[in-house]
Structure formats: structure tokens, C-alpha cells
Chains A and B, each alone.
Chain A
């Protein structure tokens, strides 16, 4: 029996109870990401700030690792959220899933504490295993790597076993294979080699293929589920489009990996492969526009969750601009030579990660909270006109766009002065770092970062309060 307007676990199935735990940690890590990002940004402006206490290298590492891990938690939570409904069967091995959740969360906590308390020291075989692996973005020590792989394997078992005992849908098939890839590709970043080119070659498999293939496929599955829930789109349509999207994504995305191989010492043919597939990568995004227009015109669906729907729309735009426009602007090797690794890359990375991933997980948070409160009303006419979710949406998106443009300005200066004029020398690096336009860009990044933080606080406040005491039940949009 649903309890309207109250947070009651009785409103959730077993998988969803576990999903709520994942979502809770995801939001906390999202907050940590924002805070450490602001600290890193401040250290661009005041390099002495917290020097020797909390160095820039540590802040930046925690900022990026928190991003990777909160998105992973968000995705795993989303998978557990839809698992029982999709399979129409209780989650197989739920106790193991719960155990792994606690083990993983404890491991993440220990890893972050080690990052913060062991900031400097000799790099030895033992430090790779216990302290820091030293691979940018995936610095977690080897024991934690193994933990991540084991955790994902358990999720794979939960997903595959549940679908095999329950209903096996199109979403199920794609999800099971994707969970297998999520486990397998991570292994590529787990061995050590003294040749930096070979090391980087495999490292990109994790960074590019984990993020731009397995995560994208998970997003497609979540989107398919979200569209059925929020707009009531029929299963047949979303599953057909899921296959088309996965085909388009893999067609251009897997070998689009080549644009990361331009400058790491790999053979010259990667220029051709990377250039060709990178040029094709935005075409699926353009195709998406046609489908969105068709769907908007072809159906007059009720929307059962306005905040979730708004974040799904933000996802479509964010993905298009962040990954498409900002990516293509500097993907060809003829210009990437100058922009790779500058604030240009950071600008693209911020908007693409936020647009493609953060937005859709936030949409899942809203779907989750709606169910947790017993399927409460979240359409129009919310108390106080739903100002909190609207302001959170506005501030988070405006903050992100502001940061992106600010870094674009800094990156433009950097690519010209540091790379093109000074030839990537140390002198060029410092000349660019003190250039007024670079510094102004960094200031504006910080200002918009604070705006983003305010948006995040509002988002958390809204998630804790939306639907509280609401007596109206949601209007179901689901077509079945």
C-alpha cells in the first residue's frame, strides 16, 4: 500500500531500496566533486592557497575521481532501480548486491582518505597497490581497482541472473552485455608497463571506451526506461531506438577513440582513423534532433514528472552541445595539436560530462524520489510553483555553461600563446598562465562555479522536500 507524500521504503521494491542507497552516495560525491572543483579553481587564482596542506594536484584528483565514482554510483543505482520492474522478478542475489554496496562504499571512503592524508611520497610498487596508481583520472590504488571490478561483476551477476529468471526484454539484452563490457574494459587500465605510449594506449580504453561506450549505452537504457515512465512511450519504439542508437554510437564512437591517440606516440594511421570517426561522431546527435521532433509531434503524451522531464531535455541539449559542438570544435588533429590538454579540453569535458551523464542521473533521482514518496504528484501546479527544482535546474545549467565559456576563453589564449607561439615550452606555459585573458577566464570560471554550488544546494534541498505532504497521486503516463 503506497504511502503518499512520505518517504517510505515500503513504496519501493528490493532493487529500488538498494538503488536509493547508491543514489544517496552519488549525491554526496557530487557535492564533494563541486567543493574540490571550487578549491582547485581557487588555486589557479591563488597558487599559494592551501599549498602544502591540500595541494592542487590532490584537489584536482579528488574532483575528477569523485566525478567518475558518483556517475558510476548513479548508473549502478539506476540499473538496480529499473531491474525488478523491467524483469518483473525479484533481484537475484540482492543480499550479495547489498553487501557489495557496503564494501564498495567503504573502499571509496578509504581511498579518498588516503588521497587526503598521504599526499606526497615515493612512487614504488607498494604505492601502486596501496596508495595511488598514478594514472590520471583513475588514480585509485590497485586494491581498489580490483574492488571496482569485483563490484561490477556482482552487479553483472545480479542483472543477468534476474533477467534470465524473469522477463527478458530488449533493454535487458543491451544492459546485460553492457555490464559485461563495463567489467571487461576496466581491466585494460590495471596493468603496469614502463613504455608510456603502451601504457597510455590501454589507459584510454578505460577513459574513452568506459565513458564513451559503456556509459553511453547505459544512458541509452536509462533513457529508454525514463521515456516509458515519464512520457509513456511504447516499449516497442524505445527498444527499436535503443538498438539504432547503440549501432550509431558504436559505429562512430569506438574508433572515435583514435582522437586520443594523436599525440601519445602511436603510429601515424591513428590520425586517419581518429580524424575520420571523430568527424562522423556528431552525426548521430544530428539524427537525434529529427527523432525528437518526430516524437514531440507524433504523440501528445502526459508528463508525469516535470522535474525529471526537464532534466531529460537538459540531457539532450547538454549532450548535443557538450559532446557534439564543443567536441567537434577541436577534434581534428590539425587543430587538436594546439588544444589537446589545455583549458579547451577542460571546457569540453565539463559540458560533455554534465550534459551527457549528470543530467540523466539527476532525472533518475527525481523519478526515484517520486516513487519513494508513494508515487506522488510531480506534474504542474506544485506548491510554490515548484520554484526550487526550477531554480536548481537554471542555476546548475547556467553555472555549467558559464564555466564552460570561461574555460573556452582561457583555453583559446592557452592554445595560441603556450602552444602555437611558444611551441609548448615551459616558458610558453607560464606566459599563457599569466596572460590577462587566461586569468580573467579563470576568475569567471570560479564565479560560475559558485553559482553551480548554489544550484547544487537547491537541488539537494528540493530532492529532500519535493512531494512532502503531497496528497495528490501521480498521473501515470506509462504505456506498458
Chain B
């Protein structure tokens, strides 16, 4: 069911795992700022961060022998979809839950999505 990582891949696994979370957060941060400020220039940077996350995930999957087994390959796919969609979903929830405040708040660009 699992194929343990080889010694030579330890660093790759630790580093890419950390990068998955860090780039996931950076993607979310840039995505949210872009929507909040209405600054479309930030959105490509957000997706570049996501691309970095995708590359890190693939390196991680290769180093941890995840792609050799269908089940773990599905987990990798779930992770990538989850990280991609989570900021979109949470943004929708943010706008929805703050709906009553928008009249006072003003600059939140609701039309952007």
C-alpha cells in the first residue's frame, strides 16, 4: 500500500511539503488581495504561486513514491483541486457572511466575481 521514501529523497520531501503549504498560503493571500483591492495585476501572481504549488506537489509525489499507486495519485489530485478551489470558496463565503456590512465598508469589489 505504501512504498517508503528513499534516504536520498528525504530533503526533497521535507522541502516540497513545506513549499506546498507556503505557496498555498501565498496563492490565497495574493488571490484575496487581488479581489479586495480590485487589482487585477495581482491575480496572475496568485496563479503563478499556485503553479509553484503544483510543481512542488508533483516533486513531492515523485519523491514520496505517490504516483506509483492509483490511490495516492488520487490523493495528489484531491490536494491540487482543494488548494485551487479553497480560496475561491472562502471568498464567496466571506462576501456572503459580510453582506450586511458592505454598505458601510464600501471598497470591497463584490462585482469582481
Q: Check if A236 sits within 8 Å of B75, measured CB to CB.
A: no
> Measured between alpha carbons, how far is A27 from B58 in the docked complex, in Å?
45
The answer to whether B55 has its CB under 8 Å from any CB of chain A is: no
**Closest chain B residue to A293, Cβ basis:** B32
> Measured between alpha carbons, how far is A286 from B24 in the docked complex, in Å?
6
Contact size range, B: 35 or more
Known: A276-B75, A297-B107, A334-B65. A291 touches B90 (CB 8 A): yes
Residues of B76-113 at the interface with A, using a CB-CB cut-off of 8 Å, are 78-79, 82-83, 86-87, 89-91, 93-95, 97-98, 100-101, 105, 107-108
Q: Digit string of A330-349 for contact with B (CB within 8 Å is 1, else 0)?
A: 11111101100000000000
Partner of B2, one of A279, A324, A334: A334
The answer to whether A457 has its CB under 8 Å from any CB of chain B is: no
Q: Which stretch in A75-83, A237-245, A363-371 binds the other chain?
A: A237-245
Partner of A335, one of B33, B64, B95: B64
Most buried by A among B14, B64, B91: B14
Partner of A338, one of B10, B36, B65, B93: B10
Judged by DSSP, the binding face of B is helix
Q: Check if A416 sits within 8 Å of B10, measured CB to CB.
A: yes
A423 CB to closest chain B CB (Å) equals 12
Known: A294-B32, A320-B25. A329 touches B17 (CB 8 A): yes
B50 CB to closest chain A CB (Å) equals 11
Residues of B13-66 at the interface with A, using a CB-CB cut-off of 8 Å, are 13-14, 17-18, 20-22, 24-25, 27-29, 31-33, 36-37, 64-66
Q: Digit string of A298-338 for contact with B (CB within 8 Å is 1, else 0)?
A: 11000000000000000000001000110011111111011
**Closest chain B residue to A326, Cβ basis:** B18
B100 CB to closest chain A CB (Å) equals 7
The answer to whether A143 has its CB under 8 Å from any CB of chain B is: no
Kindly list chain B residues whose C-beta atoms are within 8 Å of the C-beta of A412: 10, 14
Q: Check if A289 sits within 8 Å of B82, measured CB to CB.
A: no
Q: Check if B10 sits within 8 Å of A420, measured CB to CB.
A: yes
Q: Check if B21 sits within 8 Å of A286, measured CB to CB.
A: yes
Q: Check if B1 sits within 8 Å of A272, measured CB to CB.
A: yes
Judged by DSSP, the binding face of A is helix
**Closest chain A residue to B71, Cβ basis:** A272
> Measured between alpha carbons, how far is A185 from B24 in the docked complex, in Å?
33
**Closest chain B residue to A241, Cβ basis:** B97
Q: Check if A330 sits within 8 Å of B90, measured CB to CB.
A: no
Q: Check if B100 sits within 8 Å of A287, measured CB to CB.
A: no
Kindly list chain B residues whose C-beta atoms are within 8 Å of the C-beta of A421: 7
Partner of A236, one of B1, B5, B100: B100
Kindly list chain A residues whose C-beta atoms are within 8 Å of the C-beta of B21: 282, 285-286, 320, 324-325, 328
The answer to whether A119 has its CB under 8 Å from any CB of chain B is: no
The answer to whether A268 has its CB under 8 Å from any CB of chain B is: yes
Partner of A279, one of B5, B29, B31, B75: B75
> Measured between alpha carbons, how far is A298 from B106 in the docked complex, in Å?
8
Known: A272-B71, A279-B79. A298 touches B7 (CB 8 A): no
A390 CB to closest chain B CB (Å) equals 25
Q: Check if B97 sits within 8 Å of A286, measured CB to CB.
A: no
Q: Check if A329 sits within 8 Å of B18, measured CB to CB.
A: yes
Q: Check if A420 sits within 8 Å of B7, measured CB to CB.
A: yes
Partner of A290, one of B1, B20, B82, B90: B90
A237 CB to closest chain B CB (Å) equals 5
The answer to whether A275 has its CB under 8 Å from any CB of chain B is: yes
Kindly list chain A residues whose C-beta atoms are within 8 Å of the C-beta of B1: 268, 271-272
Q: Check if B32 sits within 8 Å of A330, measured CB to CB.
A: no
A319 CB to closest chain B CB (Å) equals 12
Q: Check if B17 sits within 8 Å of A287, measured CB to CB.
A: no
Please name 19 pairs of A and B residues whose Cβ atoms are closer than 8 Å in the assembled complex, sorted by A.
A234-B101, A237-B101, A268-B1, A275-B75, A280-B82, A286-B25, A287-B86, A290-B90, A294-B91, A297-B37, A298-B36, A298-B101, A324-B25, A325-B21, A330-B14, A332-B64, A334-B65, A335-B5, A420-B7
Q: B-side interface residues toward A, CB under 8 Å?
A: 1-5, 7, 10, 13-14, 17-18, 20-22, 24-25, 27-29, 31-33, 36-37, 64-66, 71-72, 75, 78-79, 82-83, 86-87, 89-91, 93-95, 97-98, 100-101, 105, 107-108
Given contacts A294-B98, A335-B64, A338-B4, 18 further A-B contacts (CB under 8 A): A234-B101, A236-B97, A272-B71, A275-B2, A283-B83, A286-B83, A289-B32, A290-B28, A293-B36, A294-B36, A297-B107, A298-B98, A328-B17, A328-B21, A330-B17, A335-B10, A415-B10, A421-B7
- 10 tightest A-B CB contacts, nearest first: A293-B32, A294-B94, A287-B90, A334-B64, A289-B28, A297-B36, A290-B90, A329-B17, A290-B32, A240-B97
